[in-house]
Structure 1
C-alpha cells in the first residue's frame, strides 16, 4: 500500500487561519477553491473556502475548508512538527502561541531533544520538537 496522509482542518475562517500558519511556518498557499465555484451556491457563502492547500515548514501539506458551525479544540489529534534547528523551532513556537495557550513549555527534555505544545488561537493542538 502506498498513501500519503494529509491533515484536513475544518475552520470557521480558513483564509485567516491559513494566512497565520503561512506567516509563522514559512508557507505558501498552493490552491483555493470557493463554494462560489459550484453552480447554485447561495450568495452568502460564495466566498467561503471549499478546499485550500497550504504548503508549510519545508513542504508539509495541510488542507483547509470553511465549515458553518463552531470549531472547538480537542485532544484527539495534534499536529506535530520536528525541527533540526532549535532556533527555528523556538521562533515558530513563539509566533504560533500568539493568541493561543501554551500547554507545555518548549524546553529541553530528559531524552535530549526540546519539546513543547500549544493550543493555537484556532483550537488546533501543535507539538513542537527538535531532533536529538
Structure 2
C-alpha cells in the first residue's frame, strides 16, 4: 500500500519539529544534517537535511531551507479520534499562530476547525 507523507521545508526544522512533537504527541525519530555532505560550507554542516517526525502512523518529513515563502495552496488535514483530543491539538497548534476557523460542530455531524501555526503552516483539525 502506498503512503503519502508531508515534507515541510523550514527555516529551523528542529524547532518546528519540536513544536509539532509537543502539539501532536509525536516523536522525532531521525535527524540527518549536512555534516557529511561533501560540498557543505561550515555554516551549513549543522543544518537539517532530513528529519523524520512520527505521530502515530503518520510520518512528517522536514528539512531546513531558505528562504521560505508561505503559500496558501495546501492545508495539512488531521483527523483525530475524539473531540477532546481535537481541541487539545487545535489549541496547541494555534498557540502563537492564528485561528482561521474555530473548531466547532459542522452540519454533517463532525467537528472541524482551521488554524495557521506559528510557522505559517495551515492545518484542518477534524474528528472522525
Q: Report if TM-score (shorter chain) is over 0.5.
A: yes
* Number of residue-to-residue matches in the alignment: 128
- Give deviations 1:9-45, integer Å, cap 9, x for gaps: 0000100000000011111111110011212310011
Helix, strand or coil for the counterpart of 2:89? helix
Q: Is 2:115 the counterpart of 1:111?
A: no
Q: What secondary structure is seen at the aligned counterpart in 2 of 1:77?
A: coil
SS at match of 1:65: strand
| Residues 2-21 of structure 1 mapped to structure 2, 5 A cutoff | 2-21=1-20
Identify the residue that residue 35 of structure 1 maps to in structure 2: 34
Q: Which runs of 5+ in 1 are unaligned?
A: none
Aligned to 2:61: 63
For 1:33-112, what aligned pairs fall within 5 Å after superposition?
A: 33-56=32-55, 58-69=56-67, 71-112=68-109
1:105/1:88 Cα in 2 relative to 1: closer, same or farther (>3 Å)? same
TM-score of the two chains, using structure 1 as the length reference: 0.92
TM superposition shift of 1:68? 2.0
- In 2, Cα distance between the equivalents of 1:29 and 1:35? 18
- What residue ranges of structure 2 are gaps of 5+ in the alignment? none
Distance in 1 separating the partners of 2:100 and 2:21: 22
What TM-score does the superposition give when structure 2 sets the normalisation length?
Answer: 0.95
CA RMSD in angstroms, aligned pairs only? 1.0
